[in-house]
Structure 1
Amino acid sequence: MNVDLLRVFLSRRGVLTAGAAGTLLATLPAPGHAAAPDDVPFDYADPANLRDWAPSRYGPHDQRGTLNEVTPAKTARVLRQTLDPNRPVRTYNLGALMWNGFPAIQPYPPERRHELRLLLGGYPAPAGFGGHVAFTDPFGANKLSVHEERFAGSTTFQIGSQLDGLNHVGAAEFFYNGLRGPDIARDHGTAKLGAEHVGPIVTRGVLLDIVGVKVATGQHDDLGAPASGGGPVLKENYRVTVEDIKQAMEFGRIDRIDPGDAVLLRTGWNQLLARRDPGDIARWGGSGGVPGIYLREARFLAKFRPVLIGSDTWTLEVMGNPVNNDGSVIPVHQELLMRHGIRIAESYALDQLAADGVHEFVFIVTPQYVEGATCGNTPPAALGQP
């Protein structure tokens, strides 16, 4: 989730026009929809409420949140219990393929994008080459040549398949564990809560195939138009409910969610990136909304203390659905990151897991080891047995 969205959302009540393509994001609900008690956002920005959520359950100096639940004993148990040593293991790439021009919401300068330029050395560049040439004569008696990447424009880890850090979203100056932005903000990133405190994660993964349940049970009213490749997707601004989550657990024969698990919700949304179709990409960016969970569902899942909650959308939480009328902006991010120390995963590719019927697996990710970073977009992996 791009932090620039927050400023734009707060300044515009209703529909946001973003990006060169004029993407529309219906961000706030229509008036007249009363919020259920478990959908009321908490006021984290009020210092008087600080004692209600900080210090965290992991102590006043903690910077890792529910990563503390992924102990060496848990990892060993997951490896022992999840994989049958007598059966083949398939490794799944859960990352979305990045390409030059990969879509990202562009509501506020400086823009963000994924764009690489090749740097070459050791031979003459081909005709029309638009990258960088370091040298044309190869090095040494062995005639060494080289290729490297160079980033163009404004770079960020907040793009593609990503894992949000606890320093990503706050409420005014407050962030996880009561830390204050003015105290931790530095030129390079943040002095606390940065990506250097994450480390490799190897734990139990759980797939909640929400769109798969809808297809299997004939709940077609909850589906939108298929992706251009024909794959089913939840309709724009569909709210994934607690009841949906329970149905997906039953569908996948998941009898429990344990502390430290990685919980991933499939909406089918990632299929909108598969063919790079302009219409699909506009939908993926939120032209009519984005399916996802809201506060009731976030609070339900948070009780299990998972290490992360993620989905195949770029936001995890529902966008454009009239769930309340108080003007709150991405409160699920605040609820999970600030109160519970639960990281948020976005734009994960979950279709192959679903196609193989793998709903429980070993989840692996090693986010960038970058001091002060708010996110890591290293593609995660899963070890499963179809």
Structure 2
Amino acid sequence: MMLDKSSNWGRWGQDDERGALNLLTPEVVMAAAGCVREGRVLSLSLPIRGATSSPAPTTVPHLRGRPLPQHFMSVDGGDYAAGTRAIGAGLKMADDALVVTPHGTTTHMDALCHMWSGDRLYNGHSADRVRSYGAGRCGIDKAGPVVARGVLFDVARLKGVPHLGVDDRIGPDDLRACLDEAGIELRPGDVAVLRTGWPLVWKNDGPDAYWAGQPGLSADGGRWLAARDVCMVACDNAAIGGLNEHQLADETLTDDLHMIFLWRHGVYLAEMLWLEELTGEGRADFLFIAAPLDIEGGTASPINPIAVL
């Protein structure tokens, strides 16, 4: 697949593996900290409820068919060890084991090695370095913590609905309207946080309605954000873009949002956020913090995104 003219390949050097996170200079981070006006902190993460310890298939949004988190405790019938351990006089200790496949099952951050075309990853790195033991280039371990200004594009609230419709796609006009209403501009290094409200469908109507498809960002909307030098796009749906009833994207490779962001522009993606508390705050900008686990060669990592108001 050929790159189009809009690309960040080579922008930060031939060896670059961090992509748009290079935009987060000390000056940009300090400016982002200026968004903290109240000092209150909100988590933007869905809970991890292991399939072995609770009825996760009916309580936690996820993509159908994806392996759910497996959470084992050493104090009940789900023991993974030989029970509790005595560690002193009258003291006992419980241990945990957690197995997570992030994509489509929990709040997570995609690495730049998650998707590519042909034989090249982002920035021209060889895809031959992606193996079962991890990616030798562009893994999530290359990202590091994200501390940036978050900008909320609350498209559902803009349209006056609890959540967008299954076939709705967020385009540049919607994004501009959100900024105009808030009276702010998007700056290089910002994290664009998109609210569709779709997790409410799982909560109110059940898994089948959630799996009937999903609203999301359009390809033109994605190009609009990439052109404005965001470092990350985060959304409360499962794939940033929309999904059909088969939980697949309908776009061609040219318009596929993972290709636009991860492969062409080195813009990271965070998916399956919970934004329902944030939308009630009436804040369009805030300090956004997310730290992926340092998984060597990982294609993604669970995260607990934080909004500091």
Identify the TM-score tier after normalising by the shorter chain: 0.7 to 0.9
Alignment TM-score, normalising by the size of structure 1 = 0.71
Q: The residue matched to 1:171 in structure 2 has which SS?
A: coil
| 1:246 alignment partner AA | R
Q: The residue matched to 1:139 in structure 2 has which SS?
A: strand
| 1:233 alignment partner AA | H
**Which of 142, 159, 168 pairs up with 1:238?**
168
Counterpart of 2:87 in structure 1 is 139
Counterpart of 1:75 in structure 2 is 29
Q: The residue matched to 2:12 in structure 1 has which SS?
A: coil
Does the C-alpha gap of structure 1 residues 58 and 313 become closer, same or farther in structure 2, counting only changes over 3 Å?
same
Q: The residue matched to 2:94 in structure 1 has which SS?
A: strand
Residue 376 of structure 1: how far off its partner (Å)? 1.5
| 1:262 alignment partner AA | V
Counterpart of 1:304 in structure 2 is 228
Counterpart of 1:365 in structure 2 is 290
Counterpart of 1:331 in structure 2 is 256
Counterpart of 1:116 in structure 2 is 71
Does the C-alpha gap of structure 1 residues 326 and 338 become closer, same or farther in structure 2, counting only changes over 3 Å?
closer
8 A Cα contact 2:236 2:275, kept in partner: yes
| 2:119 alignment partner AA | E
Distance in 1, matches of 2:70 and 2:254, equals 29
Structure 1: gaps of 5 or more residues = 1-44, 216-222, 224-231
Does the C-alpha gap of structure 1 residues 360 and 299 become closer, same or farther in structure 2, counting only changes over 3 Å?
same
8 A Cα contact 2:63 2:238, kept in partner: no
Q: The residue matched to 1:362 in structure 2 has which SS?
A: strand
- CA deviations on 1:41-63 (whole Å, 9 max, x unpaired) are xxxx24xx599747331111100
Residue 135 of structure 1: how far off its partner (Å)? 4.3
Distance in 2, matches of 1:261 and 1:283, equals 33
Q: The residue matched to 2:224 in structure 1 has which SS?
A: helix
**Which of 257, 262, 281 pairs up with 2:191?**
262
Distance in 1, matches of 2:282 and 2:118, equals 43
RMSD of equivalent CA atoms: 2.5
Does the C-alpha gap of structure 1 residues 364 and 326 become closer, same or farther in structure 2, counting only changes over 3 Å?
closer
1:105-184 matches, within 5 Å, as 105-107=63-65, 111-120=66-75, 129-135=77-83, 138-140=86-88, 142-151=89-98, 155-158=100-103, 159-182=105-128, 184=129
8 A Cα contact 1:310 1:316, kept in partner: yes
- CA deviations on 1:261-300 (whole Å, 9 max, x unpaired) are 1111111112234x4x6x4322333x1x211112111111
1:1-386 matches, within 5 Å, as 45-46=1-2, 49=3, 53=7, 55-79=9-33, 81-84=34-37, 88-100=38-50, 101=56, 102-107=60-65, 111-120=66-75, 129-135=77-83, 138-140=86-88, 142-151=89-98, 155-158=100-103, 159-182=105-128, 184-215=129-160, 232-254=162-184, 256-273=185-202, 275=203, 279-285=205-211, 287=212, 289-320=213-244, 327-328=252-253, 331-384=256-309
Counterpart of 1:220 in structure 2 is none
Does the C-alpha gap of structure 1 residues 281 and 303 become closer, same or farther in structure 2, counting only changes over 3 Å?
same
Q: The residue matched to 1:372 in structure 2 has which SS?
A: coil
8 A Cα contact 1:66 1:307, kept in partner: yes
Residue 116 of structure 1: how far off its partner (Å)? 0.7
8 A Cα contact 1:317 1:330, kept in partner: no
8 A Cα contact 1:260 1:306, kept in partner: yes
8 A Cα contact 2:216 2:242, kept in partner: yes
Structure 2: gaps of 5 or more residues = 51-55
Tell me which stretches of 4 or more aligned residues in structure 1 moved more than 4 Å. 49-54, 324-330
% identity of equivalent residues:
25
Residue 318 of structure 1: how far off its partner (Å)? 1.7
